[in-house]
Structures are given as C-alpha cells and as structure tokens.
Structure 1
Amino acid sequence: MRAAVEERYGARATVSDSYGQTTVDVGPADWLDLVSFARDGLGCAYFDWLTGVDDPPESITVVAHVYDPAEHAHLLLRTKVSRAAPRLPSVTGVYRGADWHERETFEMFGVDFEGHPHLVPLLLPDGFEGHPLRKDFVLAARVAKAWPGAKEPGESGHGAPSRRRVMPPGVPADWGRPAAPGEGRDG
C-alpha cells in the first residue's frame, strides 16, 4: 500500500506506519481522490468510519478508516481543513456508508461535506446551536451544576474547605454568576 500511495501522490502525501496500520495524510484538494484510490486502487472495499478531530486553533482533522479484507490491511486516511471554513467534498459517492458519518461530523464539528445528498442534523435537537465536539464549545451543564467527581477540596460542596470556583476552559467569566440587583443580562 505504502509504495502505491507514494507513487501516486509523491510529496503531496505523507505515509506513516504505526502498530501495523498505514496512515495517509493529504491536503483537502486530494481528499476525494485518495478515498477513491483507496477503494479502487488499493482494494479497501470496506468503509468502517469517518470522524473529525478538533485541532485548535487552525484546523480540524477529518479521519476515515477503510479496510482491505483480502489483505487484512487497515488504512487511515486523514486531511486537515480550516476551522474558519471547514469544507470537504463528500465521499458518499465512493462509500455509501459514509453518509451517516459525514452527517455526524457536520453536526458535531461543523465540517461541510459538499455534494452530500442530505446533509442535515442527525443527533441533536432542532434549533441546537454550535458544534459540541469542538474544544471551544462551552458545556453549560458543567457551569450550571457542580461536577460530582470533584477532586479538589471544596469542589463537591460537602462542607470541605472551599476554594474559588474555577470555570472549565473556554467559559466566559460571567457564566453561572447571578445578576446583581438592577443588572440586566443584556447590558
């Protein structure tokens, strides 16, 4: 697999091996071609999964796992997209099984898969705003209710010595703070 990928993509791809699994990294312009080549040129007929990995501050990595059942070979395909405008061509025309995975990655990370046949929310309620698997997404439940698995004294609220309550990373300073008398939330 490694030689075939290096021959086809040259310096446009980085191929690495880890624990018997080959990983291929390409730019977004080569994404659709790489996925098609994995199926048609490398024999990876089995699509397993596709997801995103938030890599702030610049990018989101889209990762797909495919498999060649004849050779018992696993292949990870990766590309990075800009966090500001995350978009890739859809691979549903290559692997129909990617449909659900692209919808989930769209919803959880905000990656727009151009050409997807039905790119609509899959798991979250109607009207939900934001992308909950991005690292900058504020988990309001962590602010509104104390974490039950407290490790520091005073975090659990069970009478131990108290410390200043520390907000989870990325939470605005005024979240969870009651408004002072005469203070409005809008100004």
Structure 2
Amino acid sequence: MGDQPTPAQTPPTDEEREGVLAELSESLGEILVDSHLRPHEDLWLRVKAQNWQDAARTAKAAGFTYFGFLSAIDWLIAPEGRYENTEFDSGLVEEDEEPVELDTSTGYGGGDTRFQLLMQLYSLDRQLGLLLKADLGEDMTVDTLRDLFPGADWHEREAHEMFGITFHGHPTLQPLYLPTDFEGHPLRKDFPLLARQVKPWPGVVDIENIPEHLEAQLEAEVMAAFEAEEGET
C-alpha cells in the first residue's frame, strides 16, 4: 500500500467563474491584458489604462453594478534613507540578516509599471466580485468613472491626493484630507516620513532613571506606609 504511487490530484475548477471570465474576456477583447481565476474567489482582470472607463462600462453591463472601492498600489520597493527608521527600529535588525526580496513581477501581484490602479465591483445577481486593475503610464492619467459609478467620486479624489493620479473628466479633484497647499503625495513609497524626525514615533520613548532625591522620597513613603500597616496588626 505504502509503495503505490499517489494519484495526481485534479486541480480544483469553478465552472461558473470560468463562464463569467470567458464572457468578460470576449466582451473586453484587446482591452484585456491579463486575468486570474481562483475557484470560489473574486475574479481579477488587468486591462489597458487607456481603456479604463471602457472596461468599467463593460463590467457594469455584465451585471457588476455595485461599486466597492477604488485605490492604487505603488509597487516601488521602499527605498532606504526615507527618514522612516529610528534608532529603535534599526536595533531590531540583526547585522548579518539577509534583506527581504519582494516579488513585484507582473502576475497575480505586481505590474508592468510602478503604479497600478484597482477597483472592486460586485454583481448581486451572480454573487461574485470582480477586481479591475490597470498599469498606469508616466502621465498617471485615466478617465473618471464618476458618471458610471457615482460612488467613485471621493475614491478618485483620494487616489489623486495620495498618489498623484489624475482622473480626466473629474470636476473637483480637491484634497480630502490634506491642506490645500500641501506638497507631495503621502502614499507614494518614496515620500519621506519627516514627521518621525520631528516627533518621536508612537511607542518609541527614551527611558530615564528616577532622580535620586525622588527615589529616596518614594522609598521613605513606602516604608512608612508599610510600618504603619504592621503597627495596626
């Protein structure tokens, strides 16, 4: 029994999602760059950035009418010297520790460009989620989805504010969180966290010894309280 070869396991399949993927692939045509399907999980499609709005319209026509969220990813590996690490942080890293290498290659994660836009839609009829992704070019510009999905309005404003992405056709790309004169985009990985130089990071504190005169005073008070309690007993 133990010497018999184990039969090869058949990869799990999901005919329903495979059918939806085939339907969307045919509708999108050359707009579709890549796709990924895992049984019983949301589908994801990577589309051309210049056809971002067309892809969203196609998905909506296929029943994906519920807008979940829109955001972006900066696939840049966080550079050294961005003023994020304190002396406390550096003490946690061993000198001979190998640096962690992150896989940002194109595929299930990663992209062909540094910045990637993503949006989650959901079909109530199909009970299925869809993640649309697009690799952004150097101009960092796509068409707005505000008219297709009104809920995308503030999400696009946030992505513009935090990553510097421009949504062509959006009438009010005004800051949501930051002062109007703020410079830079805080969620880019090369944005320096200068606040850590000015203000200690939460949890990182300097431990100081109690002054000798206070230590003697506290010790005397504790002993007096102890002796008084002993006297009562």
For each residue in 1:48-82, what CA deviation from the matched residue of structure 2 results, as whole angstroms up to 9, or x when unmatched?
Answer: 11011112274211110000011111000000113
Measure how far apart 1:135 and its partner are.
0.4
Structure with the higher helix share, 1 or 2: 2
Secondary structure of the residue aligned to 2:149 is: coil
Q: What is the rounded CA distance, in whole Å, between the counterparts of 1:104 and 1:120 in structure 2?
A: 9
Give the Å deviation of 1:146: 3.0
Q: Among 38, 42, 64, which residue is 1:44 paired with?
A: 64
Asked if the contact 1:50/1:63 (under 8 Å) is kept, the reply is: yes
Q: How many residues align?
A: 153
3-state DSSP class of the match of 1:7? helix
Quote the Cα distance in structure 2 between the aligned partners of 1:107 and 1:148: 25
Question: What is the CA–CA distance in structure 2 between the aligned matches of 1:158 and 1:24, rounded to whole Å?
Answer: 52
Shift of 1:8: 2.5
Gaps of 5+ in 2: 1-19, 78-112, 209-233
Aligned to 1:2: 21
TM-score (norm 2): 0.61
CA RMSD after TM alignment: 1.9
Check if 1:146 corresponds to 2:197. Answer: no
| 3-state SS of paired residue (2:121) | strand
Unaligned stretches of 5+ in structure 1? 151-155, 160-187
Q: Which amino acid in structure 2 is aligned with residue 46 of structure 1?
A: Y
Matches within 5 A, 1:38-117: 38-40=59-61, 42-56=62-76, 58-82=113-137, 84-117=138-171
Report percent identity of matched pairs: 36
2-structure distance, mates of 1:138, 1:22: 35
TM-score, normalised relative to structure 1 = 0.75
Structure ID, larger Rg: 2
Aligned partners of 2:70 and 2:156 also within 8 Å = yes
Structure 1 runs of 4+ with >3 Å offset = 9-12
Q: Which moved more, 1:98-107 or 1:55-64?
A: 55-64
* Counterpart for residue 51 of structure 2: 30
Question: Following TM superposition, by how much is the alpha carbon of 1:10 offset from its aligned partner in structure 2, in angstroms?
Answer: 4.2
Q: Are the aligned partners of 1:6 and 1:13 in contact in 2 as well (CA < 8 Å)?
A: no
